[in-house]
Chain A
């Protein structure tokens, strides 16, 4: 029983990581029709930004408020990079899908290369509070605190995004834009501002995933964003392009599937099962769990 609880909670931790990456990816695609292959760069910037700040930023560190400050710095850096990418590289290419894909794929490769050139290709130990290295006993299972932190963060981010979409004017614009971007424009709204905003939200969530992923894995490496992005894309497709709630459900399905199958089957079989799950969803419900809606 305690094994099942442990697998469930570590699976949910992994799901939380996928959700943080996929939520922004999904909103960006749902609203702006941009398949952002450079989304992993935002995660990398968030992770390295946190790592750098913990060592170099006055007041920041690996514990207590210092760690919070380091994470805030990493998230701010990831958000800034996401906004710049949208304004400088993506905005001139809206409605030019092939060029967008080429630019974002190129940027993802260049971003990893830049991180490698600056801080080396090897994984580096991530500065993290001592309590995140410890475990908490839950119903007989010793669950890593780093995973619990990820779950709490993902739930808070999910609540914040849903509240933003539900209660703010820009949230309303994004929900409407996911349904019919052209009609939003025809109501006199400059939808490009909403594009920048979803890039900022997506960048912030991905950067947070980078920072907390560093805590979860204990290390940070330049290629981390790219490998997580593959599963985030699977989550987005299964959840439904543009649906934050759908991404949450899909992330849980993917995280739990990977964790349980890898444990009870052979290592790596979980990844194959996730791809099989994607194929089943595409065959039976191509629009994903939630279809193209920005909320539930």
Chain B
């Protein structure tokens, strides 16, 4: 199967820091591909470069393609209208706007917003339409951030740490939603919670010091405790639910 997204030799330099140094990977056209790595290795920078949100002072090089379309030279709003949905780290809901206004803002001209789908996934958003987004809990804000993107048809979703700072029960709810979403649209997910990774991810890309350190089957990676520990700084069995049947890990790239 042709990948939905291919990133080739992506380099990002911001304020003299060479954050990404020739990153290459692909995202499968179905399921969840997870982008892993320790803090500060460039996971968020990668997502932001793909969606065109590198700061103006930054320098981006390389090639990013969604299908046959080259992405790097295009402005963010056009990429998003073209089906690249982005859920940023820390949710970034508009605190001063109501829930309904946050959703209305995400409606795209020329397409019918899928409120039924969003409210079926997040009934809370329907009930809290008049509430200011800034007064929602962290979990509700995350639901709003995801719901905003799901109003429209997307060819690929970029989701940055959706469970960060959430209570365990809410983490499970968010993971369930992403699991259902991934049945219809491929997802490139940045996630630190290995239990969520284990539940959702089929493929994994691990970054280390601005480069790809490992790519392959996510479930196999999580079974290799020593490898997980060396790449991520945490063993998959340490405080995270261990995987089921050992199948061995595949080391594709250094």
Contacts and interface: CB of A to CB of B under 8 A. Distances in A.
B104 A179 contact: no
Nearest to A173: B105
Contacts of A149: none
A295 B96 contact: yes
Interface string B27-55: 00000000000000000000000010101
Contact of A186 (B55, B56, B76, B97): B76
Contacts of A191: 77
Contacts, number: 61
A58 B86 CA distance: 55
B101 interface: yes
Contacts of B181: none
Given A188-B108, A189-B105, A183 B94 contact: yes
| Dominant SS among interface residues on chain B | loop
Max count, chain B CB within 10 A of own CB: residue among A169, A172, A182, A188: A188
A187 B80 contact: yes
Interface in B67-85: 75-77, 80-81
Contacts of A3: none
Interface string A61-95: 00000000000000000000000000000000011
Given A172-B101, A175-B97, A295-B96, A186 B81 contact: no
Interface in B91-119: 92, 94-97, 101, 104-106, 108
A182 B96 CA distance: 16
Contacts of A188: 77, 80-81, 106, 108, 152
A188 B104 CA distance: 12
Given A95-B56, A187-B148, A190-B77, A179 B105 contact: no
A172 to B, nearest CB: 6
A95 B53 CA distance: 13
Contact of B86 (A179, A180, A184, A186): A186
B88 interface: yes
Nearest to B56: A95
Nearest to A193: B77
Interface of B: 51, 53, 55-57, 75-77, 80-81, 86, 88, 92, 94-97, 101, 104-106, 108, 148, 152
